[in-house]
Structure 1
Amino acid sequence: MQFIDLAEIEVVAGNGGDGMVAFRREKYVPAGGPAGGNGGWGGSVIFVASDRLQTLLDFRYARIFKAEDGKKGGPNNCTGAKGSDRLIEVPCGTLITDVETGEVVGDLTTNGETICVAQGGKGGLGNKHFLSNRNRAPEHALPGLEGEVKNLRLELKLIAEVGIIGLPNAGKSTLISSLSSAKPKVADYPFTTLVPNLGVVRKPTGDGTVFADIPGLISGASEGIGLGHEFLRHIERTRVLLHLIDATTEDPIADYQTIQQELEAYGHGLPERPQIIAFNKIDALDPKTLELLTTELQELTSVPIFHVSAVTRSGLDTLMQEVWSILDAEELLIMN
């Protein structure tokens, strides 16, 4: 499945039905008078968040979405039928923006959440509405109003509580596969992960927590270099960032600084997000070197530093205790 997280579409609400000119002529109704009904409302375009979808792929092939027009008013004061609404399913986490104004139309984060993005046109009035003492037989009605037309930008931002970040080959995919049932592609070359991977990790209480393995960032990612610019948006909704560092590289401290600089450059609240740092691949490093790296990195940050091996699962229990602790503290802060 292709992962598409940006799309631009046009939505067209239905036009209102025209009002009708008609007169009541019945055998036992001597003063029938005007009896033209109103036109029906045009259908609206409504977005619905669905947890069955994970991508905006459908919008690559279909760009225009139109609701049904309202029906014309009928005789005997009958109102025309309302046009059917156009329901469009999008993944949870879809941000909807008006292309022309830049205004955020909606942000659908919960399964089943809906928002009307284009209102159908009102039906025109039939000639019965123009009856007056001066005009006992009006012969005109109003046309229906046009429905709204909008160009919208859809932007998918994955909803995950923990975002795993780091340079390519830091071991993020291996970590998420060790913690959850997710099976991302794992290999020893850069940019193995080309799309974000989601995995559900169980808390000790049994509740599920969503982790997102974000494709490797590199220097300049916030400016569009590499893959990072395409996927930095996916960690905007996370509550905790788990920064994984490959302890076996030539300069792990420089690797840490590279990622921190990209978070600062991108902004959107990421530099202030609670962060956990973990040296990975400690099974391939001697303890003395690891201790020196930890001491050097601790001079740059007050954040606790953990030692793990995603392959052997060494240190993962201690790391996860810290993750749960921060998430619980965040929940208490929100509640208060």
Structure 2
Amino acid sequence: MKEPRSDLCSRYIKIFIVVSCYWVVSIATVFVNKSLLSSQKVALEAPLFITWFQCVVSFTICFTLSTTGGIPGIFVFPKGTPWSIEVIRRVLPLSLMFTLMIATNNLCLKYVGVPFYYVGRSLTTVFNVVFSYVLLGQATSSKCIMCCGFIIFGFYLGVDQESLLDSFSLLGTIYGVVGSLMLSLYSIYTKKVLPSVNQQVWLLSYYNNAYSILLFLPLIVLNGELTALWNYPNFDSTYFWFQMLVGGLCGFAIGYVTSLQIQVTSPLTHNISGTAKACAQTVIATQWYNESKNILWWTSNLIVLASSGLYARFKQVEMEEQSRKPVPEEEKSLV
């Protein structure tokens, strides 16, 4: 039976609202973090401490929701504790990847401009293909490999144009590449760890933030941030703590709206939405920071964006074709 027109309309309205929320929260999170990490008003040379505080905020929210069971009428938060020995043994290696991922992402954002941020972290797809083959033995089609080749070319062209425009940061680009690598590893190993938490993404996020609070402490010391924190004069500033709190809330909110967008649409639609959002984010950033870019710089962004979108589409088609193949009788479950 066809879906009633009123139900279909309300469904489209819901999808529009969720996707809009994802765009607003995601773009706002990048700008808030950039302000925290590089703004002269904040002027705190302790990017890992800022990231650590965001984990504290996310952990506090998750702990509260786990205690109360969630928000009535909106969503149910799964029960669980991160301090179980068995949970620590299974989740802690993944939490280490999570910690390095968000640390390098924020370090990348500190040293590169928001317009270049997406291109600087664009190699995640390439690393996904490499690690899927090396770690999981999964081959990739020639069309997807071609997309990866274009992504690498777009990344190289973007780096080249950034250097010509005197806005290139080698350190920021290195952090972006390492962040892409860690995100790829995190995505692959998440599939292995999720069964340990009953496939509960929120529970895994709760545990990751709990362990990251502890894992960040030695990284903060090794990065030499204790001196910067000791000499920082604005710890009594309401503006500073307000912006830190907003950054923490954005960090938690992006996880929620990402999961919600995938739930009401599909993983493919989420990838396309994320790619389009990155394009809008780049345009907004160039206007916000009054940055003038040449044609080749914009071309590098378009190559990366288009190649990433095509890669997502090709993978989706491959998955659909694979799902339609008949399963041999000996591989079918007796149940």
Bin the TM-score by the shorter chain: under 0.3
- Kindly indicate whether structure 1 or structure 2 has the higher relative contact order, using CA contacts under 8 Å at least 6 residues apart: 2
TM-score (norm 2): 0.21
Higher strand share: 1
Higher helix share: 2
